[in-house]
Amino acid sequence: MAAAAAMAEQEGARNGARNRGGVQRVEGKLRASVEKGDYYEAHQMYRTLFFRYMSQSKHAEARELMYSGALLFFSHGQQNSAADLSMLVLESLEKAEVDVADELLENLAKVFSLMDPNSPERVAFVSRALKWSSGGSGKLGHPRLHQLLALTLWKEQNYCESRYHFLHSSDGEGCANMLVEYSTARGFRSEVDMFVAQAVLQFLCLKNKNSALVVFTTYTQKHPSIEDGPPFVQPLLNFIWFLLLAVDGGKLAVFTVLCEQYQPSLRRDPMYNEYLDRIGQLFFGVPPKQTSSYGGLLGNLLSSLMGSSEQEEGEESQDDSSPIELD
């Protein structure tokens, strides 16, 4: 039995090597076509080979060929062909039911980083990639993929969408560093406290206490316009500091007094009290309100941030590609 198993394993290894060798030969021919500028013909050949491999259940070969082809087209400025092959990479992952792995997430993030930031294909790609990365265990996408997307968007100075993806990652430190740059580059000096307050409240609404604490600590230590604390000069920062302590204690009376005492600061943004209502429910046992005091846009923003955690298993989640407007 052992000998038979060993022979089968060797045969499988030889077949795998032959398959990989075949893919490499095909890749060489396609690369030559692209190098000559025969973009349309090469693109059509990639698609033909993709469907041929998929029909033969050679999902890994199909994925690898489409990924290398996408990178090749990107390097030649062929955005449309590259985006099309990138979508085929996702199709191979979906149909093969491949387990989520860091290498695959990094490949998807690499493709995302090369896409034209203003292309509709990029929006479709990221939405579909996040859906695949959730693996059925979460509705918002894999935290590692969110982190990689956030880093790319940060480099592009697309701070708003970067912030959205950081919120759904576990990278509180990265989020804080991005917010420091965002605040100093685009914000008013009088708003330095609001940038981090919003992020902390939203992390808490997503039940991510650790990232809420890390983003607050890192931001207040690194922001050039914030003096050493606590306590801080800005009352709103003191409120957030006390809130993080109260969340750990879980005492409703402390939470209630905090919210009452700091109402002047909390009135600076009408969303703060909406977030605090939700935080009260999650950490202090406050019953949910029958009706929200805010409807329309504000209600939609709150739902887009927190709604997915409350949905039943069979329901569809919010569109992951939509950024949260926090300004």
**Whole-angstrom Cα distance, residue 193 to residue 202?**
14
Mean pLDDT value across residues 2-8: 50
**Residue 220 near residue 196 (C-beta atoms within 8 A):** yes
Phi-psi region of 295 (alpha: psi -120 to 50; beta: other; left: phi over 0): beta
Nearest Cα residue to 69 out of 95, 94, 41: 41
At 273-301, the pLDDT tens digits run 999 999 999 999 999 876 555 555 555 55
Please state which of the ranges 17-21, 157-161, 300-304, 310-314 shows the lowest mean pLDDT: 310-314
Tokens representing 195 are 């940038």
* Residue 324 predicted with pLDDT over 50: no
At 117-142, the pLDDT tens digits run 999 999 999 999 999 999 855 568 99
At 28-87, the pLDDT tens digits run 889 999 999 999 999 999 999 999 999 999 999 999 999 999 999 999 999 999 999 999
At 197-248, the pLDDT tens digits run 999 999 999 999 999 999 999 999 999 999 988 999 999 999 999 999 999 9
**Whole-angstrom Cα distance, residue 8 to residue 3?**
9
Helices (H) and strands (E) in the chain, counts: 16, 0
User: What's the residue count for the chain?
Assistant: 327
- Going by pLDDT thresholds of 50, 70 and 90, the confidence category of residue 98 is confident
Helix (H) or strand (E) holding 81: helix 79-96
At 234-274, the pLDDT tens digits run 999 999 999 999 999 999 999 999 999 999 999 999 999 99
Residue 164: how many other CB atoms lie within 10 Å? 24
At the topology level of CATH, where does 156-288 sit? 1.25.40
